[in-house]
Amino acid sequence: MSATHPQPPRPDHASASLRQALLFWLKLGFVSFGGPAGQIAILHQELVERRRWISERRFLHALNFCMLLPGPEAQQLATYLGWLLHGTRGGVLAGVLFVLPSLFILIALSWIYLAFGDVPLVAGLFYGIKPAVTAIVVHAAHRIGARTLRNAWLWAIAAAAFVAIFALGVPFPLIVLGAALLGYLGGRLAPEHFDGVGGHTAAKPGYGPALIDDDTPPPAHARFSRARLVRLLLVGALLWLLPMGLLTLLFGWHGTLTQMGWFFTKAALLTFGGAYAVLPYVFQGAVGHYGWLTPTQMIDGLALGETTPGPLIMVVAFVGFVGGYVHPLFGAERAFLAGAVAAGLVTWFTFLPSFLFVLAGGPLVESTHDDLKFTAPLTGVTAAVVGVILNLALFFGYHVLWPQGFAGRFDWPSALIALAAAVALLRFKRGVIEVLAGCAVAGLLVHLGLH
């Protein structure tokens, strides 16, 4: 830090006891709307800007790692940050509390959806939240881009990623690999452009000192240990084998719950790029192959997943609930119990690999945050993600503003709500939760007025 930008003293509120962290992760589980982009924005706003638990550079390094993993990147980032602050116990608490509220909410909403059909109140709230989510994704692309795209090289990677996914339909894993390769080559050929910080912090002051700052050495629990890694892998294998073995004994390998566990384990391990990469695989298997639900139900479930807190991949809980409820496994009179058990099991098998990836890979990541040959590829990936998020914003915008396709009508009320949300976020710097709440009320009023 130069003499013209002396470091301010650490703020008094910059403390992070396990109890404080527990309360924060619990709150986050209930307010983490906006899909992965919105959730990452909330994490950055709370932990980097407001609470100063972690520095910008360490946050982005962790985010880059989570972007490379199969599974929900926002939940993995919360797990990683919880682990970095308070060890394995902190990581498990952060990851579980990120998911648990949305599981209970989705079980309740799935039951209402199946038992009572359309609920005007819920439909109206959804009507306002969908355009708000579009604005939140645009805002996230702007925030991450402003921090990441510091030079023409990184802008070019972001633009190439956008063209690749929007115009050419290149799979997300290939985009990630290509961006990492470009970052690696850039780190060798033009290292000053691919430094994780470069001239960025010199160009504008940061947020002040953090508990885990750029130069803070990794805590003892974040240092690599072969014995710890072996122990973790053994525990993870048992946590998978025991429920899978029990399901096989009770229902047989071809039983619905057993096949759900196996299918969603594969979804968690084989699909990279977050929820939007997993969804086509889930749609193909759950609707086309197994017939657990209809295409219409899957689309409605995606709407529920988009407008409830927690990771978007929690739509798998809806898939499990509908599959268990419609094909009652414990008798017709216990349809709700079958749906709830299926939703819980699907969530377990979907998220277990995420915890193992983060807890096993964290020590390696913490040992590389100052090593350019590791950070340069991750910088390239972050640049590409900006382009991918922009494509996601256009995808949302299309489905919100032209709900029947371009041949149908343009939804002016949704456009006005989206514009108001964008202005509130970008111009007036309002919080994500405030914007979602305001748009939900506006959507309810418009929806009730239209019907």
Report the pLDDT value the prediction gives residue 75, as an integer from 0 to 100.
92
Higher pLDDT, 93 or 275: 93
Half-sphere exposure at residue 187, Cβ-oriented, CA atoms within 13 angstroms: 21
Measured CA distances, 409 to 131, 399, 401, 412, 425 (Å): 16, 12, 8, 9, 27
**pLDDT tops 80 at residue 207:** no
pLDDT of residue 112: 86
Give yes or no for residue 63 having a pLDDT over 50: yes
Residues near 25 by beta carbon (within 8 Å), at least 6 away in sequence: 78, 82, 93, 94, 97, 98
329-364 pLDDT, tens digit per residue, is: 788 789 999 999 999 999 999 999 999 999 999 998
**The two three-digit tokens of residue 394, written as one number:** 């256009």
Query: Phi-psi bin for 216: left (phi > 0), alpha (psi -120 to 50), beta?
Result: beta
Confidence (pLDDT) at 200? 37
With pLDDT > 90 as the criterion, what percentage of the chain qualifies? 37
Q: Is the pLDDT of residue 425 over 60?
A: yes
pTM of the model as a whole: 0.72
Picking from 118-127, 140-149, 402-411, which range would have the lowest pLDDT averaged per residue?
Answer: 118-127
Exposed (0-12), middle (13-18) or buried (19+): which is 236, by Cβ within 10 Å? middle
- Give CA–CA dist 260/250, Å, rounded: 14
In the chain, the largest separation of any two C-alpha atoms, in whole Å, equals 73
Average pLDDT, the chain: 84
Nearest to 86 by CA among 15, 13, 18, 14: 18
Residue with tokens 């691919």: 194
Name the CA radius of gyration of the chain, rounded: 22
Q: Does 202 have pLDDT greater than 60?
A: no
Span 390-409, pLDDT tens digits: 887 887 788 888 888 788 88
Domain spans in the chain, listed from the N-terminal domain onward:
100-201+222-450
